[in-house]
Amino acid sequence: MRRYFCLDNILIDMRCLQDASYKDRGVGKLALNLVKSVGHLGKRCRTIGIIDPNMPALENRFSSLVDEIRLNSYIGDLQGSMAFVELSPMTHDPLFVGRIINDVRVLTASIVYDFIPLYEPDRYLPDGIHRIDYQTQLIWLSRYDHFFPISQHTSDELSRILNVPHDRITKTAAPVEAAFERRNGVKPKADRIYVLACGGAEPRKNIECAIKAHARSTALQDSKVELWVSGNYPASWQATFRDLYVASGGHTELLHFIGFVSLEKLSAIYRNAVCAIVAARMEGFSIPIVEAMAANVPVIASRIPAHRELIDRDALMFDPQDDEAAGALLEKLVYNGWYRHEVVREQSTGWSRFRAEKIASEFWAQIAFLLTKRDASARPNILKGARPRVAFMTPLPPDPSGVADYSAATLKELGKRVHVDVFTDSPLDAKPEGVSSVFPISELPFLNNEYDRLISVVGNSHFHTAIVKNLLIYGGACIEHDNRLLHFYTYQLGHGRACEVASRELGRPVDAAEIDQWLSDEASLDATFLGELASVSSPLVLHSPVTAELVRRRFGKPVVDLPFSIYRIPQVDRGDLAKKTEARSRLGIKHGEFAIVTLGYIHPNKSIVECIQALALLLERGVRARLYCVGDWAMDREVLKKVCDDLGVSGFVQFTGAYVTEETYRDYLLAADAGIQLRTHLLGGLSGALLDCIAAGIPSVANADLVRAMAAPKFIKPVEDHPKPESLADALQQIAGAGQRQGDYEEERQLYCQEHSFANYTDRLCAELGLEISVSD
């Protein structure tokens, strides 16, 4: 086999092979032939099949033909020369692959079958929505670099309708399967004599003409010559055609519908037919004509442009509405053996140009030739010598979200390195620092190849619904903040979707009752709900090494693990005792009191009851402790008040009952002697509050999973993941007894802050995304 120009990446839209309506028809045959033969481009070429996860699963017989399957058309991570082949441009949503079509690095090529909807708009484009959709598809089709129409007729229409110049057109065709080819000219003796009428369950196939032509022939009826109809017609259609056949004079026992049969059986049906008839009113190409020729079966056809290209003799053609002329031709072929032999001889060689190997070889040779004329190895903006451009999809303040705060801090540093456009639905008062432009969330950045990278920021709340929707369709890089998306999937996408995603992740059925159990007690949670994001993201960026390892193990997908950076807390100088005293005074914290703070939502998954029980133990041991719960309620406050009353510690626990101002929050960080931050949902969960404690230099207690996820310094004391009050009390008492000052671990704190700074974070993020950066002030 001849080898041509070596291509680095060949991208193939394989959605038509997912679609049952197309995969076993002419569209699927041509598509499969080209995919199977991509080796013509050389061994270095990596083949990537693009599929839609919302369509039926791609069968293994198709997916095994490519090196990689992608669930979207994001290619920002690919390097080297690229070509994209659209196997069926007018069949599915063009926006799904729109970014590739607009990418100047990629040679884009499309098969073109026909423009039949324009010829029968009342049937195929019955309303405004269908007409707009079809016009949209035509607009996207016009943007391809090169076209491969399947016939000269389609080529002519392509030039006429879209004004495509001839130098951007190379004619191809649908391939004939080798199974149809008869190796010798001897026709096997058949027990039954029949005419094969080639159709399909579409009105334009015009099978009525063949049915009436056969039924009205007295000679064919008297000789008991049967009519076999190919095409998978539903029962209701068959009944209608039988009525038509009988009404036209036919004997019902002579009419047979083949239905769906294997390739081997279909090719045998062709070979044993006395002749074939193809009566379609419109076609882009007619594979049944070629199949009949390959099988040495004489074929007559309707007089339409696509058929004229295949049948040279006009005497073998008829008007699609003239069943009388079609019947006369059938009688001549059935009863005149010499004439039949002559037609077979005439038609015995022309079909060979449609052999699968020949079509595929010529197609890939043309792709290779076109590639030799291109130089698109660099990304658009790097090629221009410009700063990389990034589209950043995220919520931002004033939305009350830790993710929003984190993104705002990221953008301050990222904007020093690259050009950043933010896409957000947050009600901004002003343009965020580091941002060039602000736009509402939409599909626009996913279709605009001016961006070198797309970054979607995802968290476990409703602020991310539109972001996730676009990410799952179009792909791109994803910064995922949470170790689980239980609440997002359940409340934003519904119980059904949550059950489906969790079942796939765990490899067992998960029902709505189990979802509700996880919601009521996240300590029992088994699923991360990160599988879909891992499948579509290029790459998936996580901030917890524990969660990252879990995702790698469960989903087998590569993950980028970046350190969770210090994003929100204003600088506090806990070494200044005067400032600490002033803060304690403002908060009403007494001199000599051991002040313990826990920050954020007051929620059962933070072991708040155990914290109160640990406080009671400290008081029993003589430690003058007091617990300050700084945050809004996320549980029944009366439950905790009763716990405090029962333990006799109501005077030693203070609930702010709501979020506090930034100034008050800073005071708590200055005033605290110890912190306590717990997360019982595990799976590598993170805590912005613990990050604040570390940055402020507050010796704190945290559960082991959280300590590992945060890579916490040594002044954070670990306890069990489902901590006992005794363990919490012991750890807090050690902190109280040590009497440590910030200077005792200042070097460790500063090192952690440096490693977890946003300057370091954004440098690593840009490196992982392949962005060439230069830092500016």
Residue 708 shares a structural domain with residue 754: yes
Is 499 domain-assigned? no
**Total tally of structural domains belonging to the chain:** 4
pLDDT of 42 reads 59
Residue 611 shares a structural domain with residue 466: no
pLDDT tens digits, one per residue of 50-108: 999 999 999 998 999 999 999 999 998 888 889 999 999 999 999 999 999 999 889 99
Is 520 domain-assigned? no
Tokens 């301050």 locate to: 412
Residue 207 shares a structural domain with residue 317: yes
Is pLDDT of 567 > 90?
Answer: no
Residue 27 shares a structural domain with residue 150: yes
Is 436 domain-assigned? yes
Q: Can you read off the two tokens belonging to residue 436? A: 């060039």
Residue 447 shares a structural domain with residue 554: yes
pLDDT of 3 reads 42
Give the other-Cβ count within 10 Å of 516's Cβ: 12
Is 511 domain-assigned? no
Is pLDDT of 4 > 80?
Answer: no
**Alpha-carbon distance 559 to 538, whole Å?**
9
Residue 333 shares a structural domain with residue 401: no
User: Which of 145, 168, 191 delimits the end of a domain?
Assistant: 168
Is 571 domain-assigned? no
Q: Can you read off the two tokens belonging to residue 494? A: 């519904």
Taking residues 646-659, report their average pLDDT. Answer: 93
pLDDT of 349 reads 85
Residue 192 pLDDT class (50, 70, 90 cuts): confident
Phi, psi values for residue 624, rounded to 5°: -80, 75
pLDDT of 741 reads 60
Residue 225 pLDDT class (50, 70, 90 cuts): very high
pLDDT of 375 reads 56
pLDDT of 659 reads 84
Is pLDDT of 17 > 50?
Answer: yes
pLDDT of 385 reads 57
pLDDT tens digits, one per residue of 400-426: 888 999 999 999 999 999 999 999 999
Residue 680 pLDDT class (50, 70, 90 cuts): confident
Residue type, 669: L
pLDDT of 378 reads 45
Is 372 domain-assigned? no
Omega before 398 within 30 of 0, i.e. cis: yes
Give the CATH number, domain containing residue 391. Answer: 3.40.50.2000
Is pLDDT of 46 > 50?
Answer: yes
User: Which of 334, 350, 366 delimits the end of a domain?
Assistant: 350
Q: Is 244 left (phi over 0), alpha (psi -120 to 50) or beta?
A: alpha
Is 627 domain-assigned? yes
Residue 335 shares a structural domain with residue 426: no
The residues near 463 (Cβ < 8 Å, ≥ 6 apart) are 395, 399, 401, 403, 404, 426
Is pLDDT of 272 > 90?
Answer: yes
Is pLDDT of 376 > 90?
Answer: no
pLDDT of 735 reads 93
Is pLDDT of 183 > 60?
Answer: no
Is pLDDT of 490 > 80?
Answer: yes
**Alpha helices for 316-401 (secondary structure H):** 323-335, 337-347, 356-372, 380-383
Residue 200 shares a structural domain with residue 272: yes
Taking residues 621-646, report their average pLDDT. Answer: 93
Taking residues 741-751, report their average pLDDT. Answer: 79
pLDDT of 287 reads 93
pTM of the model: 0.80
User: Which of 350, 375, 403 delimits the end of a domain?
Assistant: 350
Is 602 domain-assigned? yes
Residue 213 shares a structural domain with residue 150: no
Is pLDDT of 383 > 70?
Answer: no
Residue 124 shares a structural domain with residue 19: yes
Nearest 5°: the CA angle 28, 32, 37 is 155
Residue 32 pLDDT class (50, 70, 90 cuts): confident
pLDDT of 646 reads 95
pLDDT of 318 reads 97
Residue 408 shares a structural domain with residue 468: yes
Taking residues 231-253, report their average pLDDT. Answer: 95
The residues near 182 (Cβ < 8 Å, ≥ 6 apart) are 271, 294, 295, 296
Residue 194 shares a structural domain with residue 150: no
- Domain holding 545, by residue range, is 386-485+528-561
pLDDT of 371 reads 85
